Amino acid sequence: MPEKHFYKDVISFAKNHYENFPVISFLIPRELQKHIAVIYWFARTADDIADEGNLSEEERLKQLNEFENNFTRTLNGNPQNDFEYALVETIRDKKLNPSHFYNLLKAFKQDVVKKRYQNFNDVLDYCRNSANPVGRLILELFNVRNEEALQLSDKICTALQLTNFYQDVQLDFQKGRIYLSMDEMHKFSVSEKSFELSENSLNFQQLLRHNISRTEKMFDEGKGLLKYLSGRLKLEIKWTILGGEAILNKIKKDNYNTINVRPELNKTEYFYLAVKSIFI
């Protein structure tokens, strides 16, 4: 069993982090907050191994493999610290599918070794591991296991991941990554030089407009998920979708200039969207 202070610490950690939206909002029932916090800790720890510091690719992969081996050991009944005890307790008590955690780790490893994506299908393949497992875990925490609901959740999560890519164009490039597909960059005559020079050219604007239009349609397709939800979870997912759409609208209002300006939502906008989610 984890020490008493552990859950308090891990919930505080998650509440102090924003991934475009609060990781644990006021809409999350208290009894589920510790489980979401533990899942977030898992993902955040692995993401930091893949992304932070000055480690070589080899060292990052080595540490991610060790992290995965420790996860497997934990699942096999041999947790060795508070986090591992809490994680296996969450997976067991809430009947979570461990494959979602392995898929997340696959995406983090991919971030280490894959910096370019030839076509949009390659980008979608990445999202299947980096984003979709998160939505499925949330639904499983709330015991929503309908297959159509899970597939609709995938659409929303992929759309949210794509939104984050377009929001973080310059930040990702500084880390050596481009998530806009190479074939579409070629189609719109956008070269990597545009990223180096921070040029918000007409061609770049057209490329981003094309991608954002496709992502907006994906959000619309995923909204069918709401009919399978109720109560706080339904409001939470509405709020999350509205947040993603609000970021896309900011990008459009800024003339698609995410190569220079990273759009963000402020606390007032968060609150407005929370209220809006109640009445739509």
Same domain, 104 and 129: no
Determine the Cα angle at 33 with ends 151 and 24, to 5°.
Answer: 75
Global pTM value = 0.93
Q: Shortest CA distance to 183 belongs to which of 122, 125, 141, 268?
A: 122
Range of the domain at 275: 116-280
Both 29 and 100 in one domain: the answer is yes
Do 127 and 108 have their domain in common? Answer: no
Same-domain check for residues 36 and 79: yes
The 3-state secondary structure of 131-194, one letter per residue? CHHHHHHHHHHCCCCCHHHHHHHHHHHHHHHHHHHHHCHHHHHHCCCCCCCHHHHHHCCCCHHH
* Tokens linked to 4: 């008493």
d(CA 57, CA 78): 29
Same domain for 99 and 78: yes
What mean pLDDT, rounded, does the chain reach? 93
The C-alpha R_g of the chain, in whole angstroms, comes to: 19
For 205-259, what is each residue's pLDDT tens digit?
A: 999 999 999 999 999 999 999 999 999 999 999 999 999 999 999 999 999 999 9
Q: Is the torsion defined by CA of 137, 141, 145, 151 positive or negative?
A: negative
Residues 174, 192 within the same domain: yes
Domain boundary, last residue among 61, 96, 113: 113
How many separate domains does the chain show? 2
**CATH code, 105:** 1.10.600.10
259 and 166 housed in the same domain: yes
- Nearest-angstrom CA–CA distance, 222 and 2: 37
- Of 224, 80, 183, 13, the C-alpha closest to 88 is 80
- List pLDDT tens digits, range 153-185: 999 999 999 999 999 999 999 999 999 999 999
